[in-house]
């Protein structure tokens, strides 16, 4: 049985959903070759990078030589496989197109495949297309200079739903609209994931839809910032930070630090105004416990900042870590935890906070020696318990003690 993702892979560039701008840029790359000898298709998983390269080859009757960069982790193997494809004539008299899939798997070391790939690009007589999930990593800095870069965006829910509906029609299958919506929501713009989930539903039945969990596609903050500042604003913009590992407070600091690197003039002012409003709603949420304001905070932090200008740039920006501000914030958070623990300790021991403060350094060991019933009376939060455990370990190690002998 052929997987749906392969069975319905598009073979015409016009059939690729949600990437009309990228499609035209890919065609222009081929027309202008060898002005740029290599093209990088960069974007999240499931956005159609490989399908676009395959469709380009078919549309122009090119013989495709396909490689998986994850298998080419050193210079000798890359040279042995790539060089013949670049130098030999096609058996069918066709022009060639080299597809280097998943460039993220190539090593960036001096002896690895990346330097050799860059050298071969400079010598190639046929166009090369490289796909990558994140071409902005430091190791790709020299590769970026050798290539034209086209960024693909995550597909909208509307596009993903349309693809699912078309596949169901071709397969002569019917499922509930609620099930389709769950698949679309779980895919988060990833067509590959959507079709894999659809296939599971077709094979296993809709009663197993609960097994399809939302994909926690954890994004590092640098990718999130790139999407915020450089992608065109659409419905996906409001969900940029949904899967971030950072807290909303940390995200605010990162955005604040990097706005000046992307925006100038009126756009800069507008972006900071939106960030300020997000911070105002954060204050209202904390002070009044108005959690319904989270949607407004998220709107100004993501959509508001992103819409500060319509003129997006695609140049590489080295985003800065908000070191000084972040250190201050983390220190404040740590001091707030200590203050809260001391207040609870003082209440438990019926003493003043001032007196409790004298036991601050030994408090982790003191509290660890208490029975569970007494600990529960303190009503410590998880983050306070974690802090005390860390400090207890530090105390044991620094004193040379081993309480567990």
Architecture of domain 221-321: Up-down Bundle (1.20)
Whether 81 contacts 67, CB under 8 Å: yes
**Sequence-distant (≥ 6) Cβ neighbours of residue 180 within 8 angstroms:** 161, 164, 165
Following DSSP, what letter does each residue of 69-115 receive, concatenated? GGG--SHHHHHHHHHHHHHSPPTTS--EEEEEE-GGGS--STTSHHH
Supply the pLDDT for residue 201: 86
Residue 236 has pLDDT above 50, yes or no: yes
Task: List, in sequence order, every residue forming a beta bridge with 97; answer none if it has no partner.
Answer: 64
Higher pLDDT, 160 or 318: 160
CB 270 within 8 Å of CB 308 = yes
Q: CB burial class (10 A; 0-12, 13-18, 19+) of residue 151?
A: buried
Q: What is the pLDDT of residue 401?
A: 47
Q: Is 74 or 141 the better-scoring residue by pLDDT?
A: 141
- Top-tier CATH class for 157-211: mainly alpha
pLDDT above 50: residue 216: no
pLDDT band at 367 (very low <50, low <70, confident <90, very high): confident
DSSP code, position 271: H
Q: Which residue has the tokens 């959903």?
A: 17
Say if residues 113 and 72 touch (Cβ distance below 8 Å): yes
Residue 162 neighbours by CB under 8 Å, 6+ apart: 17
| CA distance linking residue 119 with residue 58, whole number of Å | 27
Q: Mean pLDDT over residues 77-105, rounded?
A: 70
User: Across residues 281-305, what is the average pLDDT?
Assistant: 83
CA dihedral 121, 123, 124, 130 (to 10 degrees): 0
How is the chain split into domains, by residue range? 4-151, 157-211, 221-321, 325-399
CATH number for the domain running over 4-151? 3.40.50.300
State the pLDDT confidence band at 115, using cuts at 50, 70 and 90: confident
Concatenating the DSSP letter of every residue in 183-206 gives: HHHHHTT-HHHHHHHHHHHHHH-G
**Neighbour-count burial of 227, counting CB atoms closer than 10 A to its CB (0-12 exposed, 13-18 middle, 19+ buried):** buried
Mean pLDDT of the chain: 80
Q: What is the DSSP string of 110-127?
A: TTSHHHHHHHHHHH-SS-
Sign of the CA dihedral 307, 313, 318, 324?
A: negative
| Residue pair 282/252 in contact by the 8 Å Cβ criterion | yes
CA dihedral 174, 215, 19, 152 (to 10 degrees): -160
């Amino acid at each position: 049985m052929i997987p749906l993702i392969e069975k319905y892979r598009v073979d015409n560039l016009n059939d690729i959903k949600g990437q009309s701008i990228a499609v035209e840029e890919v065609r222009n790359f081929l027309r202008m070759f060898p002005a740029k000898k290599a093209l990088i298709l960069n974007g999240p998983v499931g956005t159609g990078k490989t399908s676009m390269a395959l469709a380009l080859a078919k549309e122009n009757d090119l013989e495709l030589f396909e490689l998986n960069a994850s298998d080419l982790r050193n210079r000798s193997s890359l040279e042995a496989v790539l060089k013949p494809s670049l130098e030999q004539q096609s058996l069918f008299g066709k022009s060639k197109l080299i597809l280097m899939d998943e460039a993220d798997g190539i090593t960036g070391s001096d002896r690895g495949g990346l330097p050799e790939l860059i050298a071969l690009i400079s010598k190639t007589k046929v166009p090369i297309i490289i796909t990558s999930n994140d071409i902005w990593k430091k190791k790709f800095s020299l590769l970026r200079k050798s290539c034209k870069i086209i960024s693909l965006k995550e597909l909208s829910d509307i596009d993903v739903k349309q693809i699912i509906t078309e596949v169901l029609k071709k397969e002569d299958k019917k499922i509930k609209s609620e099930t389709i919506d769950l698949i679309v929501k779980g895919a988060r713009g990833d067509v590959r994931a959507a079709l894999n989930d659809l296939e599971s539903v077709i094979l296993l039945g809709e009663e197993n839809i609960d097994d399809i969990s939302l994909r926690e596609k954890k994004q590092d903050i640098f990718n999130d910032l790139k999407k915020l500042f450089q992608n065109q604003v659409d419905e996906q913009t409001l969900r940029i930070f949904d899967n971030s590992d950072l807290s909303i407070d940390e995200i605010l600091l990162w955005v604040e630090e990097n706005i000046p690197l992307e925006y100038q003039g009126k756009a800069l002012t507008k972006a900071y105004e939106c960030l300020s409003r997000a911070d105002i709603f954060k204050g209202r949420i904390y002070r009044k416990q108005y959690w319904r304001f989270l949607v407004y905070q998220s709107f100004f932090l993501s959509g508001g900042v992103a819409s500060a200008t319509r003129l997006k740039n695609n140049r590489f920006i080295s985003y800065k870590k908000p070191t000084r501000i972040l250190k201050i914030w983390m220190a404040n958070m740590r001091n707030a935890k200590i203050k809260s623990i001391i207040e609870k300790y003082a209440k438990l021991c019926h003493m003043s906070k001032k007196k409790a403060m004298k036991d601050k350094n030994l408090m982790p060991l003191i509290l660890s020696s208490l029975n569970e019933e007494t600990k529960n009376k303190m009503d410590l939060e998880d983050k306070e318990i974690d802090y005390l455990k860390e400090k207890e370990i530090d105390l044991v190690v620094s004193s040379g003690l081993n309480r567990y002998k």
